[in-house]
Amino acid sequence: MSLDKNMLSKLAVGDKHGEDSPYFEGWKAYDNNPFHPEHNPQGVIQMGLAENQLCSDLIKEWIKANPQASICTAEGIDGFSDIAVFQDYHGLKQFRQAIAAFMERARGGRVRFEEERVVMSGGATGANETLMFCLADRGDAFLVPTPYYAAFDRDLSWRTGVRIIPVECNSSNNFQVTRQALESAYLDAQETGIKIKGLILANPSNPLGTSLDRETLRTLMDFINDKQIHLVCDEIYAATVFAEPGFVSVAEMIQEMDHVNRDLIHIVYSLSKDMGLPGFRVGVVYSYNDAVVTCARRMSSFGLVSSQTQSFLAAMLSDQSFVDNFLKEVSKRVAKRHLMFTEGLKEMGVSCLRSNAGLFVLMDLRQMLKDQTFESEMALWRIIIDKVKINISPGSSFHCSEPGWFRVCFANMDEDTLQIALQRMKSFVLRDRENKNCNNKKRKSFQENLKLSFSSMTYDEHVRTPRLMSPHSPLVRT
């Protein structure tokens, strides 16, 4: 029996979640036919999920060496009663201390974070939404440079009613955001009566895989300070930076820019990407604004991190030797995997946007489009999903301003699977190239034959219509 939609809320019956977008549709294609080297070797390989599985062995080794860290082991059972009872939504003190210390180490020890400002949330998704509820009212807007994380539309807007105003960037300068682009988007919004409450940045960027240098950050912070609007900086890929320019946190910049109003600066962090623990749902809101910290903490009761998870992570992240080695290995292993994948693409003549961070690359397939339109991009994506059996994400799902760019994740699989994916992609690219060469030859041959045919024509002087010359014509013999 179907329920009358009038019985439900507009949110329940609406389509603003975005789960029908190509970004999520690709996941469904994988879920329906997942690749397995033995049980389903012809299945879809998942390269649309930015997940870090490169260092899980280090975490497993630590767990084996520290069984007392879990309340669900014989060695840690004595702590069960203390952890299983009700916990205040401020979170365990030792957990907040460990998270603050880890955030410092992930930023090279160049900044300090206060445990009192650490607010828990259910992953970065919950942290971003919490900040929207704290900083803006329904109908207010945030500027977001393109291309941006595909799920921002859901995370920032779906339940809050906050609007996203894309700030268009393009490949001519590697999609770097400029003060001019920000000013233009801000002015356009004002002229249409839209209230801009802030700017949202992902640094390092998803899907670009690039980090912002000091000069760019200084420009952006001057912009928000001049306008007196908020800056939300999503830094969940901080520890994945593997090449220059190194990672510079907004927390570093406010130490150098005394004139900036700290009440406008907010950081989102999580352990999903840097540590590869998305299933633990550990997100963090870190704000320099006391009122925001208070409000976010009150709201955190709707998305707490379990006390069992807090207790375990507090123990692991307090092991400084482990953390230092882990951060070193993350950067090293991401760099190795990035090189392996980009070199494999280069061998088949496919390039990527130059990147220095993240668990993905932005692959350039513009030369494979039938024409430079987003319709052609989607047609190519369909072929890659349905025929090549690889789930990658089209640039349009990230609001990229140019068709033909695709985000491809490389850290959520083992090397053997990555090589299979590269081989599939190589076969597809080479076949496409051969078909185009063949078509070009046919077109060239057709044009030459057409030219020859026209050169063999004469015209009737009276009706002026072409007729082929007889092979016995004296003109032909001449």
pLDDT of residue 448: 62
C-beta neighbour count of 92 within 10 angstroms? 20
Spot the catalytic one: 236, 254, 265, 390: 236
Q: Which H/E stretch holds residue 197? A: strand 196-202
Q: Are 419 and 35 in contact (CB under 8 A)?
A: no
Does residue 457 surpass a pLDDT of 50?
no
Q: How far apart are CA 220 and CA 144, in angstroms?
A: 12
- Weakest mean pLDDT among 54-63, 69-78, 207-216, 462-471: 462-471
- What is the pLDDT averaged over residues 38-60? 95
Spot the catalytic one: 148, 149, 269, 286: 149
Dig out the tokens for 426 from the structure. Answer: 């190589």
What percent of the chain is modeled with pLDDT above 90? 74
Q: Are 134 and 292 in contact (CB under 8 A)?
A: yes
Spot the catalytic one: 155, 234, 274, 364: 234
Per the annotation, the verdict on 442 as an active-site residue is no
pLDDT of residue 439: 66
pLDDT of residue 472: 40
- Weakest mean pLDDT among 41-50, 75-84, 336-345, 441-450: 441-450
> Cβ neighbours of residue 63 under 8 Å, at least 6 residues apart?
69, 70
Q: What are phi and psi of 282, to 5 degrees?
A: -105, 105
The pLDDT tens digits for 369-388 are 999 999 999 999 999 999 99
pLDDT of residue 3: 59
Dig out the tokens for 350 from the structure. Answer: 């496919």
pLDDT of residue 442: 61
DSSP sequence for 387-440: II-EE-EEGGGGT-SSTTEEEEE-SSS-HHHHHHHHHHHHHHHHHHHHHHHHHH
pLDDT of residue 474: 31
Q: How far apart are CA 143 and CA 207, in angstroms?
A: 17
Per the annotation, the verdict on 234 as an active-site residue is yes
The pLDDT tens digits for 272-317 are 999 999 999 999 999 999 999 999 999 988 888 888 899 999 999 9
Does residue 470 surpass a pLDDT of 60?
no
pLDDT of residue 446: 56
In this predicted model, which residue has the larger pLDDT, 105 or 10? 105
Q: How far is CA 57 from CA 53, 153, 166, 330, 340, in A?
A: 9, 34, 39, 11, 20
Q: How far apart are CA 408 and CA 37, in angstroms?
A: 20
Per the annotation, the verdict on 236 as an active-site residue is yes
- What is the pLDDT averaged over residues 164-168? 96
Q: How far apart are CA 180 and CA 167, in angstroms?
A: 10
Spot the catalytic one: 30, 273, 288, 384: 273
pLDDT of residue 24: 81
- pLDDT band of residue 12 (cuts 50, 70, 90) is confident
Does residue 473 surpass a pLDDT of 70?
no
- pLDDT band of residue 468 (cuts 50, 70, 90) is very low
The pLDDT tens digits for 388-397 are 999 999 999 9
- Weakest mean pLDDT among 38-47, 361-370, 457-466: 457-466
What percent of the chain is modeled with pLDDT above 70? 91
Does residue 63 surpass a pLDDT of 90?
yes
- pLDDT band of residue 469 (cuts 50, 70, 90) is very low
Does residue 471 surpass a pLDDT of 90?
no
pLDDT of residue 451: 59
- Residue 315 has, within 13 A of its CA and on its CB side, a CA count of 17
Whether pTM exceeds 0.85:
yes
pLDDT of residue 184: 96
- What is the pLDDT averaged over residues 441-450? 60
Per the annotation, the verdict on 4 as an active-site residue is no
User: What secondary structure, in 3-state letters, does 301-314 show?
Assistant: HHCCCCHHHHHHHH
- pLDDT band of residue 406 (cuts 50, 70, 90) is very high
Does residue 1 surpass a pLDDT of 60?
no
What region, left, alpha or beta, does residue 414 occupy, with left being phi > 0 and alpha being psi -120 to 50 degrees? beta
Mean pLDDT for the chain? 89
Does residue 432 surpass a pLDDT of 50?
yes
Q: How far is CA 451 from CA 320, 345, 472, in A?
A: 77, 40, 21
- pLDDT band of residue 447 (cuts 50, 70, 90) is low
First to last CA, the chain: 86
Q: How far is CA 182 from CA 138, 157, 207, 230, in A?
A: 22, 20, 19, 14
